[in-house]
Amino acid sequence: MAELFTAATLSALAGRPVSDETAAVIHSWVAAAIAAEIGALPDEVPPGVAAVALELGKAAVPTPGGATSTTIGPYSASYAATGTSGAPLSRDQRLRLRRAVGQKTAFSVDTATTSPSGHR
């Protein structure tokens, strides 16, 4: 399986520690979501696929203790809600994935014209 990111990468993106075990679970989930859209991941991951994988991975990093914010003295930090509800990929992410591997977009329209007799 192609490596999309590491625990260190997720830690840097999320701004908080991510264990190897958590990163492995997130990696499996992200790889499955992407493979469901474009098929098996190529050995050399295209940049567009890697970008979507990082977005999904960062969004899946759990907040510390499920908190939404914390305050220490004059400093405060807010954490984005994590977890997924509904489809794991947005429409934009699906389109970017398909473009990255050279597939037609799921929402493309054939604009060829036909004559009344059915011949082009």
The answer to whether the beta carbons of residues 4 and 13 sit under 8 Å apart is no
Query: Taking the domains of the chain in order of start, what are their residue ranges?
Result: 7-77+86-100
The answer to whether the beta carbons of residues 7 and 22 sit under 8 Å apart is yes
Averaged pLDDT, 47-52: 94
In the predicted structure, residue 84 carries a pLDDT above the cut 50:
no
Averaged pLDDT, 36-65: 89
Averaged pLDDT, 68-78: 73
User: Which tops the pLDDT comparison, 65 or 42?
Assistant: 42
In the predicted structure, residue 82 carries a pLDDT above the cut 70:
no
Instruction: Give the tens place of pLDDT for each residue, 38-47.
Output: 999 888 999 9
